[in-house]
Structure 1
């Protein structure tokens, strides 16, 4: 069992930091006859109030984005399009959703290693707008209009800015950032017209804070954050399609092979996560038909706050955690032939 900080924080979230526990604790203090003006009762009230306040903020965020009532989707009516669905998170998503008898459309430059009657593969370089437009006509004619699009395709080169070639930089930008633009521009109009659909953008923890030897990847993931936020606001404020949901996924290091060899000094605080954990969170957001921000593991929630700290504190943290040395041990296993 992985006894990382996430394990213990998850226990606290379900116990001490849960509104039900906080309510029972304050009630227990009260029935003990402890005076309401005593320090114990006052601090117990502060604790309970704080737990409820944080819970209320989360609830209001959910309501503001989804309305008070959010109907679960009927999977029989959905068509899911996944870019980069030949391996990693994309492939696992396709496999898992196919069990629900959902029609899955996979866009990739390579064919998935699995075959399933519910999974339809179309070869496409999603970084090229003309290819996306061409394959879209085939998808609509053969399968129908996708109602859920998952912008998952991603590449990493693992080189410094000076070592990376122009072609490699353009490839990373094309797959990681331009592809979500092309896919969304192509398939969103039908969702807006029917006021039904879901766009999932898979960014990264590195979209919040960059590290050495991966500048192009970090830049594209940061750009994808901005793209996602603007898209969500345009859907609500320009297209008046509030039932088209937008989910942002920002995972830390996922065990998909993309970052093999990368390690940190203190994995207790920055644990890697299994792909299935990310997939379960995505499917839950889709199933509930809710706009969500999925940040996992827990340390990712703190990363947006880093930019508000003085620069020397950030640099000190990077130094202590050995962040800028992490990519030195990276192994490019995903681009190598299987017999190597």
Structure 2
């Protein structure tokens, strides 16, 4: 691997504070040997802002800062929970925001992804505890509400706009039956978890062909991609085979 392209680049590892010994510290040592200017940050916002003025915009950002505070949810204080979220997630957004001047749907999507992960962790923690508590994750598509008034559905057949009453009835049914379940509606929402497991190139072509990134023209820049690639065809074939063999995932 040629390292000449790295010489003179500017890198910011977020956990490389004084005295650190984590992944960011090790990466910093290697990058420095390759001729990369590594910025040691102490107070993130102030230091990185000053560094941009002094050295220019960093070309390498390594969001590696993290803390671990493992504690059962019933005893964990809100302050501890908030600190973990602030360091492990919010700080990553802050660093990206400083360097990238535009982020469209990233905050919204990241918050929803965090909820999905939170539900998954909570579900299994409750399962192995003495609490008789059921959880239901609801992943709806576009709703006919003011929140989505600027969003145009790419296809009313494949991605219909949902009536909030329809979704509410599904949730009420889960509550009445005391179910611990996940509600994906409409049909395409059931495919999304599978899509996340596919190669990134396939995800790009799926987004392109489905028109999902054109749904909100006001916020998203559309970039044309070459989808006549064997990896796309292979990935598409694998997805179709998975769907055919697991038809019950849509029921």
User: Do Structure 1 and Structure 2 share a fold, with TM-score over 0.5?
Assistant: no
TM-score by length of 2: 0.45
**Relative contact order, higher structure (CA 8 A, sep 6+):** 1
TM-score by length of 1: 0.33
